[in-house]
Every structure is written in C-alpha cells, then in structure tokens.
Amino acid sequence: MVHDAAQILVASNRGPVSYTPTGDGGVEARRGGGGVVSGLSAIGSDARSLWVCAALGEGDRHAVRQGVGEDGVRMLDIDPEVHAAAYNGIANSVLWFLHHMLYQTPLEPVFDRDFERQWEAYRTYNRAFAEALAAEAADGAAVLVQDYHLALVPGMLRERRPDLRIGHFSHTPWAPPEYFRMLPDAIAGELLRGMLGADRLGFLTRRWADAFTACCAQQLGGTDAAVTAVHALGADAEFLRERSRRPDVEERMAELREAVGPGRRTIVRVDRTELSKNIVRGLLAYRDLLTSRPEWRGRVVHIALAYPSRQDLPVYRAYTAEVSRLAAAINEEFGTGDWTPVVLHVRDDFARSLAAYRMADVALVNPIRDGMNLVAKEVPVVSDEGCALVLSREAGAHEELGEFAITVNPYDVTATAEALHRGLMMPAAERAERTKHLGAASTALPPRRWFLDQLEPLRS
C-alpha cells in the first residue's frame, strides 16, 4: 500500500474549492457547498479521503502551478483545449442535451469528425482522472465518481486497479433508449461499458435508473440490473435553517420587500439560467396569468433569480439574453409607476436566494427535465409562512413531493398560469400544512446520509 494513500476518493469535474487570481500574482480560495461536500465531512478522521477534480479557470491553474491547495483536494491541471472540448463539447453540449432531451430544431445533434475529435478529448480527460485516482488510492479503497463528465472513469480505473471498489453517481436524468440511440453506436457502447466498470451505479430516482438499464439492454443486450441503486438526495435542513437566519439574509429580505412593495404576493423562482430549467416558459406563464386574470395586476410580483451558467456556450448566452428580454417586455407591458411585475436578478447571491425562499408565497419549479431539483426541496425547509409549490412532473423531486405540490406539465404554459393562480389562491392554513409535509419529504435523505449510503456498500 502506498504511504498516505487515500481510502475514500471522490472524483468530479467541479471540485469543492475554486481559486480566483488576486491581481498581485496570488490566488484567493472560495469553498463550495453541495451534497458531496457535506457528505464527505461526515466521514471523520478514521479514513483518509481525497477529492480529485479539474482546475477550471486561470485562478485554479495558477493555484496548481504555485503549489497552492487544500488538504484532501487534488486539482488536475488538464490542457485547457482538452478540457474545453470534453466539458463544453461533449459533457455539456452532447451528454447534458441527451439526458435532458434538449435537442430540437435547429439544435440538432451532429455527430461528425469534429464530434469525434471532441470525444477523443473526453477520453483523454477521463483518463487523466483515472490515472490520478489509480495513483492515489490505497489497496481496496472506495472511489465515488460523480456525473456525466466522468462516465468513462469507472472502466478506465477498473483496468488499472481491479482491487478498488468503484461507485458512479449520476446527478442528471438518464435519457430513454429511443433518445439515447441518437449517439453513434460505438460511442454509446463505450459510454455504457465505461460506467459499468463501476461496482455500483447510483441515480437520483428509479425512473433514471430504469432508463439506464433500458439503454444497456438496447445497446449491449442487457446488464445485471442489480448494479443500479437509487439515492434521492435531500435538502440539508440543519444547514439551511441556520444559514437562512443570518443577518445578510435578513438584509436581502428587506431589499426584496422594498422591490415587491407592501401587501403584494410573491411568486419565486431560483435557478441557474439553464435551458432545462424552462425559465422562459415560466415567464410566459406569468404573463398569461396577468393577461387572463387581470385581478392579479398590481397585486403580485414575480421574483426571478436566474444566475448565468455555462456562458461559453452560445445557446446559453442566447437563452440568458432571452430571459432578460422577456422579463423587461413584461415589465414594459404591465408595469406601473409603483409596480414592477418581474424583479429579475442575475448576480449569483446565495443569501438572496435564501431570502427569496423565505418570503415566497408560491415557488415555481418547472424544469422540462431535471435529475432532482433541490430548490423544490429547499424552499419548504426555510419558508417563513408556508409556500405553495408549483412543480414540474419531469423533475426527479416530483417522485417524493408530487403529492403535496401543484403538478404541472412544464410545456403547458396555460396550465402553468392556472397552477400559479391556484397557488396564489391557496388558503394560508392549507399552504402551511402542505409545506410541513413537503419539508418532511424533502429532508428524508439529508446529504450526509445520502453520501454514506453510497459509500457503505463499497466499504463492506
């Protein structure tokens, strides 16, 4: 066994820390949150853990080259061109689009020689992770590989280190076989076999796990269904309750209240500005509400927190622009001297997100497809006075929350407008009662347990 080798390893594209250049040649660290971070913290000191991730920007690369780093984190300094082709090209433009079923005219998949070059970069990128993990892992260590960026890692790692216990977890939906088969056969097979290198494959819902198994059946003629497991990541109640009571959140609440104006109801959404989140149809539904039920004019405000994401991709830049354009158009059409119908914020601000959660009368979570959607689970945990949840039936969270939410077909703008109306009209007592049930369902599998449940079978 290598001295100081790790017994528990996590691998993901985006790591738990990122660095920004300070201007004087140094770097400043920023720590992220999320389920894996909080899960890892539950391990304690009996096992050495290591998180392997990619250096994502100039700041990260700077840090790696200067030897700056955190204990327990190893950042891989991968050739930026290889990373761009693997991350923007394959992971976010092909695999994300497939699993979220986002392809539509004129955004059709084109699998040409360029794609093949990007796929080669994706292999190189995955190999860099497999090599680092193979070098760092103790005999029989447990390795938890995260998400679609690293689908080939389990197979590549298995080849190098048959002694390891490998898990892979998908934080996204999985495409149904009819959609998945758009991929060239050889690549579809390579992808699935890469994942099947793992001892266990984790998914957020049974629906995504079954889709994976069905793709294996179609592409490879079957697999042992027992390798898939479902772990429905829940909200971290303890953290959220504490964090949402801090002064910076109170400040943001005061600012939002000022923007909303006295006595008005609020419809809140919080998302990355992401095609699958369906923000544009959400705004269209809100416009429909103001048109078809004019009694709401001047009496409701839509707080839309839409934080730019993946801006290297032109289609995301266009989508981000469309969200701003439509919000402005609604304000132009309906706004009055003292009422701004849509309050849109695009600068990522966690305290403001929590403030919006606390004061929401209605939360709108309408993705066209989503692995889980934690916003739907976080709102009921911190809500001050109860909140009606308008929830897409295509979000993974719907499996657990559907019973207490107002369910919508995310493509149906008219029905979404009606659902918003129903949410706004819901009596306070019913809202509070539903929020209680939503909160309980949302916190059933907190991040630490979610993480340990995946780890345990690999360590026993």
Q: How far is the CB of 390 from ligand G6P (least distance, A)?
A: 21
Which CB, 169 or 286, lies closer to ligand G6P? 169
Which CB, 126 or 266, lies closer to ligand G6P? 126
Which CB, 14 or 265, lies closer to ligand G6P? 14
Which CB, 172 or 205, lies closer to ligand G6P? 172
Per the CB < 8 A criterion, the answer to whether 300 and 424 are in contact is: yes
Which CB, 2 or 107, lies closer to ligand G6P? 107
- 399 Cβ neighbours under 8 A, 6+ residues apart: 205, 206, 207, 232
Residues touching ligand G6P: how many (CB under 6 A)?
Answer: 6
Per the CB < 8 A criterion, the answer to whether 85 and 117 are in contact is: yes
Q: How far is the CB of 14 from ligand G6P (least distance, A)?
A: 4
* Residue 310 binds ligand G6P, judged by CB under 6 A: yes
Q: How far is the CB of 96 from ligand G6P (least distance, A)?
A: 8
Q: How far is the CB of 25 from ligand G6P (least distance, A)?
A: 27
Tokens of 166: 């490998």
Which CB, 136 or 147, lies closer to ligand G6P? 147
**Considering only CA atoms, which of 144, 177, 168 is closest in space to residue 229?**
168
Tokens of 192: 């699935």
Site for ligand G6P in 142-201 (CB under 6 A): 147, 171-172
Q: How far is the CB of 238 from ligand G6P (least distance, A)?
A: 22
State residue 43 phi and psi, 5-degree precision: -70, -35
Q: How far apart are the first and last CA of the chain?
A: 19
Which CB, 172 or 340, lies closer to ligand G6P? 172
* Residue 317 binds ligand G6P, judged by CB under 6 A: no
Which CB, 260 or 397, lies closer to ligand G6P? 397
Site for ligand G6P in 94-153 (CB under 6 A): 147
DSSP string, 66-117: HT---TTEEEE---HHHHHIIIIIIIIIIIHHHHTT--BTTB----SHHHHH
Angstrom distance (rounded) from CA 114 to CA 356: 43
Q: How far is the CB of 272 from ligand G6P (least distance, A)?
A: 6
DSSP string, 238-289: HHHHHHTTSHHHHHHHHHHHHHH-TT-EEEEEEEEE-GGG-HHHHHHHHHHH
CA angle 71, 147, 43 (to 5 degrees): 40
Q: How far is the CB of 426 from ligand G6P (least distance, A)?
A: 30
**Considering only CA atoms, which of 455, 450, 357, 453 is closest in space to residue 38?**
450
* Residue 287 binds ligand G6P, judged by CB under 6 A: no
Burial class (CB in 10 A: 0-12, 13-18, 19+), 224: exposed
Q: How far is the CB of 171 from ligand G6P (least distance, A)?
A: 4
* Residue 400 binds ligand G6P, judged by CB under 6 A: no
Which CB, 95 or 268, lies closer to ligand G6P? 95
Which CB, 44 or 314, lies closer to ligand G6P? 314
3-state SS, one letter per residue, for 330-359: HHHHHCECCECCEEEECCCCHHHHHHHHHH
In this structure, how many other beta carbons lie within 10 angstroms of the beta carbon of residue 186?
9
Look-up of token digits 């690369």: 61
Question: By beta-carbon distance, which residue lies closest to ligand G6P?
Answer: 171
* Residue 14 binds ligand G6P, judged by CB under 6 A: yes
Which CB, 14 or 123, lies closer to ligand G6P? 14
Q: How far is the CB of 172 from ligand G6P (least distance, A)?
A: 5
* Residue 309 binds ligand G6P, judged by CB under 6 A: yes
Burial class (CB in 10 A: 0-12, 13-18, 19+), 235: buried
Q: How far is the CB of 309 from ligand G6P (least distance, A)?
A: 6
* Residue 353 binds ligand G6P, judged by CB under 6 A: no
Q: How far is the CB of 34 from ligand G6P (least distance, A)?
A: 8
Angstrom distance (rounded) from CA 376 to CA 379: 6
Footprint on this chain of ligand G6P (rule: CB under 6 A):
14, 147, 171-172, 309-310
